[in-house]
Amino acid sequence: MIRRRTALTLPAALGATLGLAPWLAQAQSKKDTLVLAMTLEPPGLDPTAGAASAIAEVVLYNVFETLTKVHADSSITPLLAQSWTVTPDNKTWAFKLRPGVAFHNGEPCTAKAVKYAFERAAAADSTNKDKAVFANIVNIALTDELTAVLTLKNPNPDFLFQLGQATSIIVEPKSVATNATQPVGTGPYKLENWAKGSAVVLARWDGHRDAKAIKLRRVTMRFISDAAAQVAAMLAGDVDVFPRVAAAKSLAQFKADKRFQVLIGGSRAKTVVAINNRRKPLDDVRVRRAIAMAIDRKQVVEGAADGFGTPIGSFYVPGAPGYVDLTAVNAYNPERAKALLKEAGVTTPLELSLKLPPTPYARQGGEVIAAMLAKVGIVAKQENVEWAQWLSGVYGQKAYDLTIISHVEPLDLGNFARPGYYWNYESARFNDLWNRINATADSATRLKLVAEAQRLVADDAVLAYLYQPTWITVAKAGVKGVPRDMPLFVNDLSLLSWG
Confirm if 191 and 182 have CB atoms less than 8 A apart: yes
CATH of 270-469, one of 1.10.10.10, 3.50.50.60, 3.10.105.10, 2.60.40.10: 3.10.105.10
**Helix intervals (H) in 188-268:** 227-235, 251-256
Would you say residue 23 has pLDDT above 70?
no
- Distance between CA 133 and CA 412 in Å, rounded? 11
Instruction: Give the mean pLDDT of the chain.
Output: 93
What band does 30 get if pLDDT is binned at 50, 70 and 90? confident
Q: How far is CA 104 from CA 65, 107, 207, 212, 483, in A?
A: 12, 7, 8, 16, 27
Query: Looking at residue 126, what is its pLDDT?
Result: 96
What band does 288 get if pLDDT is binned at 50, 70 and 90? very high
| 25-29, 382-386, 434-438, 484-488: least confidently modelled range | 25-29
CATH number 3.40.190.10 is the correct assignment for the domain at 189-263+471-498: yes
pLDDT digits (tens, 9 = 90+) for 439-454: 998 899 999 999 999 9
Closest CA to 210 of 113, 65, 56: 65
Q: Please return the burial class of 75, using the count of CB atoms within 10 Å of its CB with bins 0-12, 13-18 and 19+.
A: exposed
Q: What is the β-pairing status of strands 137-144 and 260-265?
A: unpaired
What band does 486 get if pLDDT is binned at 50, 70 and 90? confident
Would you say residue 99 has pLDDT above 60?
yes
The distance in angstroms from the start CA to the end CA of the chain is: 43
Q: What is the average per-residue pLDDT within 384-398?
A: 97
Q: What is the CA radius of gyration of the chain?
A: 25
Would you say residue 10 has pLDDT above 90?
no
Strands (E) in 135-217, as ranges, are 137-144, 147-152, 189-195, 199-204
pLDDT digits (tens, 9 = 90+) for 400-436: 999 999 999 999 999 999 999 999 999 999 999 999 9
Query: Looking at residue 454, what is its pLDDT?
Result: 98
Q: Which helix (H) or strand (E) holds 366?
A: helix 360-374
pLDDT digits (tens, 9 = 90+) for 110-154: 999 999 999 999 999 999 999 999 999 999 999 999 999 999 999
Domain boundaries along the sequence of the chain: 68-174, 189-263+471-498, 270-469
Instruction: Give the CATH fold of the 68-174 domain.
Output: Dipeptide-binding Protein; domain 1 (3.90.76)
Rounded to 5 degrees, φ, ψ at 359 are -65, 140
Query: Looking at residue 441, what is its pLDDT?
Result: 86
- Distance between CA 339 and CA 17 in Å, rounded? 85
pLDDT digits (tens, 9 = 90+) for 322-374: 999 999 999 999 999 999 999 999 999 999 999 999 999 999 999 999 999 99
Q: What percent of the chain has pLDDT over 70?
A: 94
pLDDT digits (tens, 9 = 90+) for 226-250: 999 999 999 999 999 999 999 999 9
Q: How far is CA 197 from CA 152, 193, 220, 223, in A?
A: 42, 12, 13, 7
Confirm if 331 and 458 have CB atoms less than 8 A apart: no
- Distance between CA 69 and CA 160 in Å, rounded? 9
pTM over 0.75: yes
Q: Please return the burial class of 496, using the count of CB atoms within 10 Å of its CB with bins 0-12, 13-18 and 19+.
A: buried
What band does 18 get if pLDDT is binned at 50, 70 and 90? very low
Q: Please return the burial class of 72, using the count of CB atoms within 10 Å of its CB with bins 0-12, 13-18 and 19+.
A: middle
pLDDT digits (tens, 9 = 90+) for 295-314: 999 999 999 999 999 999 99
- Distance between CA 339 and CA 459 in Å, rounded? 17
Query: Looking at residue 16, what is its pLDDT?
Result: 39
